[in-house]
Amino acid sequence: MKVIRPIALKDYDALHDIAVESGIGFTSLPVNEPLLRRKIDQSERAFKEVVDEPSNQSYLFVMEDTETGDVVGTSGIAATVGLEDSFYHYHCGKVVHASRELKIHNTVDILTLCNDYTGVSEICTLFLKEKARKGSNGRLLSKFRFLFMLEHQSRFSETVIAEMRGVSDENGTSPFWQWLEEHFFSMDFPTADYLTGIGDKVFIAELMPKYPIYVSLLSKAAQAVIGQVHEKTRPALQLLQQEGFICRGYVDIFDGGPTVEANIQHIRTAQASRKLPIKIDQQKAADATLCFVINTKVKDFRAITTEVYVDQENDVAYISPESAAALLVSENDLIRFAPTKLI
């Protein structure tokens, strides 16, 4: 069984391995021991805090294979972004150059540097090891966060975003960044990506062009990847789009990848979820609906994929003893769950 739980200090080696495997362009997990250990420490503190409103908490989870004890993936939520340091995007907009007298009307695409997403929550740091990419593991690693956020709404903003990895090749070369590098930064993409990942963002404010960039001035290769995702990120983007996430024209300042957003209340898995007390019964759970299930705890949070049978008349949910043990719940405790397949 695959169980999702809060990360712990003992998971450092596993997190480091995931950071190495994720490769260049996965900004939120740079291969940097002090930073990774700091992420674990920040997450442990966030899970212990009593929170009335979202602040700088950062929640990091791992997926553990209970049969082997191996950590096979990670997934995170930032309660807010941009409160401690600036959170940059380009917004894709338009300007019109027109002359009524000359009967000329030209619409031009522009990119404007902005901090529009300051204060929103972000789902981030999602990576599943190659060997675990089967069944519903990938969807669980992504979707359980919507249940967690809905269950603990006071900890998060109503708006949730996800930054999607943009186009780059196996050497970490980004067509979008190449143009910026040539004209403004004199720094390759892996270096810029790494500095951002470790929190060193001062260079962005110092070197990034302050005025809107005319898209037509970019190279053809750079123009072609604005708003596009890395081939390995397409499944993740499709999953979020199915949940109701949309792109409102915001793209990453380094690789041009899209940022998508949704209101937590409007995310399909959150909308479809129910919260019920449980009964533990192996037989009834065997003929039930496959669901993503979480307990309602914070510090001792757990999430799994398992069968849930709902007794509509008595408003209770039946799960198996194995599932109850994995979720750290007992008879009459509450769970929140949503079907793995939404109609």
Asked whether the CA dihedral 302, 304, 309, 312 is positive or negative, the reply is: positive
Residue 145 — φ and ψ, nearest 5°?
Answer: -65, -35
The pTM (predicted TM-score) of the whole model is 0.90
Q: Considering only CA atoms, which of 23, 1, 131, 15 is closest in space to residue 76?
A: 15
Number of separate domains in the chain: 2
Instruction: Give the whole-angstrom CA distance, residue 13 versus residue 242.
Output: 34
pLDDT tens for 265-284 read 999 999 999 999 999 998 87
Any idea which residues carry the catalytic annotation? 230
Residues 155, 10 share a domain: yes
Task: Provide the token pair at 235.
Answer: 């499944």
Q: Tell me the residue range of the domain where 170 lies.
A: 2-88+116-268
Residue 109 belongs to a domain: no
In this predicted structure, the answer to whether residue 196 has a pLDDT above a threshold of 80 is: no
Asked whether residue 208 falls in the same domain as residue 315, the answer is no
Tell me the per-residue pLDDT of 223-255, one tens digit each, with 9 for 90 and over. 999 999 998 889 889 999 999 999 999 999 888
Read off the tokens for 56.
Answer: 């700088």
Of the candidates 214, 239, 268, which is a domain's last residue?
268
pLDDT tens for residues 156-173?
999 999 999 899 887 778
Tokens encoding 232: 């390995």
Does residue 95 lie in a domain region?
Answer: no
Looking at residue 197, its pLDDT comes to 63
Residue 206 has pLDDT above 80, yes or no: no
Tokens of 281: 């019964």
Please answer whether residues 150 and 264 qualify as being in contact, where contact means their C-beta atoms are separated by less than 8 angstroms: yes
Q: 101 lies in a domain?
A: no
Domain boundary among 268, 300, 316: 268
pLDDT tens-digit map of 29-68:
778 888 899 999 999 999 999 999 999 999 999 999 999 9
DSSP letter string over 97-120? EEETTTTEEEEEEEEEEE-TTTT-
Q: CB under 8 Å to 257, separation ≥6 — which residues? A: 163, 164, 165, 166, 167, 227, 228, 229, 230, 233, 251
In 88-244, alpha helices (H): 137-151, 175-180, 189-197, 202-207, 220-225, 234-243
Look up the CATH number of the domain holding residue 322. 2.40.40.20
Say what the pLDDT of residue 110 is: 96
Count of beta carbons in the 10 Å neighbourhood of residue 273 = 22
